[in-house]
Structure 1
Amino acid sequence: MTVAPENLVADAGRLLLPSAGTVQTLAPGLRARAAAVLLRMALELSLDAYWGRVTPRMTRIGKHRMLCLEWYAGRDTARRCRTTWVALSAACHYRTYELAPAPAEIQVRLAEVTALVTALDAGPGTASPRRDTSS
């Protein structure tokens, strides 16, 4: 069973902003952490799909996916992917000495992941690989 990144983003949005009349049994910090997990999964699935279209071998190692993304999707998209993934990873980890992530912080990440899923879904043809012009 595969889940579309868009569905994960929508589920994260429902966790962050439950509809009126919904019984809220989870604390806001716990909902924000759960939404961060869903958003990180959506970003990773989008990266897998992107690299599956470019070169399937790239889906094996996560670190390489991030390092090489700049050459295929552009510097801005690669930077946004890295910073968003790092922020979501930090929000996902439970530490007893830290507060849970704020729902407003994860709401910002929700907007960023939504934009990144759209950009990565557009495919490698939309952003030309970066070329070295120094020589």
Structure 2
Amino acid sequence: MSTYLATADRLLTSTVPGARGTWPRACAWLLRLELEAALDRFWARVRPEIGAVRAQRPKLLMLPAYAGEEIARRAGYLWWALSRAGHHHRYELGLTIGELLRLRAELVVVAERLQDAAVAGPR
């Protein structure tokens, strides 16, 4: 388990002093960092030149060609949802613990599928 995921789990399962009110956004950012790390591991293995790009958007846009539509769709949704949750919107409520747990579970599935994806080249 990575440090990002372990820290997010700590925020989800215990009271962290000084994190009252900010822990849902912090947790969302940690989960997004874990997703980005999983994408980086995938690209390092499959196409290092794509993995060398710092921005995440191009990596997500290239994902269907190398990992398949389903994984790309799920990863794209996760990145969008976690990015949105990480930003403060005065007119919206933050994510609940249930929503964060669901996103965490989806993240684990996507990361595992990225790890298992065997790719010979663009599809």
- Measured against the shorter chain, the TM-score band is 0.7 to 0.9
* Shift of residue 96, structure 1, vs aligned partner: 2.5
Task: Give the TM-score normalised by the residue count of structure 2.
Answer: 0.84
- Equivalence for 1:88: 82
Identity of aligned residues (%): 36
Instruction: Measure how far apart 1:103 and its partner are.
Output: 1.5
Q: What's the offset of the Cα at 1:7? A: 2.8
Match of 1:17 among 9, 13, 19: 13
In terms of fraction of residues, the more helix-rich structure is 2
1:129 Cα deviation from its structure 2 partner: 5.9
Residues 72-103 of structure 1: CA distance to partner in whole angstroms, max 9, x if unpaired?
A: 11111111000111000000001233222212
The aligned amino acid for 2:40 is D
Q: TM-score, normalised by structure 1?
A: 0.78
Structure 2 gaps of 5+ residues are none
Question: Separation in 1 of the partners of 2:16 and 2:32?
Answer: 25
Q: 1:105 aligns with which of 91, 99, 110?
A: 99
Match of 2:111 among 93, 102, 117: 117
**Residues 1:76 and 1:9: Cα distance change in structure 2 (over 3 Å):** same
Contact kept, 8 Å, 1:36 with 1:88, in 2: the verdict is yes
Please tell me whether the aligned partners of residues 8 and 39 of structure 1 are also in contact (alpha carbons under 8 angstroms). Answer: yes
Distance 1:128 1:32 in 2: 39
Structure 2 CA distance, aligned partners of 1:48 and 1:114? 15
| Unaligned stretches of 5+ residues in structure 1 | none
Structure 2 counterpart of 1:73, from 43, 48, 67: 67
Counting matched residue pairs gives 121
SS at match of 1:98: coil
Which of the residues 22, 32, 54 maps onto 1:30?
A: 22
| Deviation, structure 1 residue 117 | 1.7
Q: Which residue of 2 aligns with 1:6?
A: 2
Computing the radius of gyration from Cα coordinates, the structure with the larger value is 1
Asked whether the 8 Å contact 1:74–1:130 carries over to 2, the reply is no
CA distance in 2 between counterparts of 1:112 and 1:10 reads 16
**TM-superposed deviation, 1:23:** 6.0
